[in-house]
């Protein structure tokens, strides 16, 4: 994740594999660094997908809300 001087955040690709002994919990690390809006929704200012290979987009749908902000679910926090 890139954090710009003005506070905006950009995530370039994501490879969220199941955490294990040699695999860090990427999603937990990201969630700690992301900002929340006035309604408590985590957000990025931009996501850049360099190409659609699995090792560049794994976990995107499972861990990020990909629709309009008003369809975000407080229950799943995504």
> What are the tens digits of pLDDT across the range 31-46?
999 999 999 999 999 9
Q: Which of 45, 42, 41, 53 is nearest to 14 (CA)?
A: 53
Residue 77 lies in a domain: no
d(CA 52, CA 25): 21
Question: Residue range 49-76: average pLDDT?
Answer: 92
Residue 13 lies in a domain: yes
- pTM confidence score: 0.82
Range of the domain at 17: 2-71
Average pLDDT value for the chain: 93
Residue 76 lies in a domain: no
Angle at 54 between CA 16 and CA 57, to 5 degrees: 55
Question: Residue range 17-21: average pLDDT?
Answer: 87
3-state secondary structure of 9: strand
Distances (CA, A) of 30 to 10, 52: 11, 20
Domain count along the chain: 1
Residue 78 lies in a domain: no
Question: Residue range 11-26: average pLDDT?
Answer: 91
pLDDT exceeds cutoff 90 at 52: yes
Residue 26 lies in a domain: yes
Q: What is the pLDDT of residue 20?
A: 86
């Amino acid at each position: 994740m890139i954090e710009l001087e003005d506070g905006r955040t950009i995530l370039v690709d994501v490879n969220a594999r199941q955490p294990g002994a040699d695999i860090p919990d990427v999603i937990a690390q990201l969630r700690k660094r992301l900002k929340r809006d006035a309604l408590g929704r985590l957000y990025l200012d931009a996501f850049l997908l360099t190409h659609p290979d699995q090792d560049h987009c794994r976990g995107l749908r499972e861990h990020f809300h990909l629709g309009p902000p008003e369809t975000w679910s407080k229950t799943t926090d995504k």
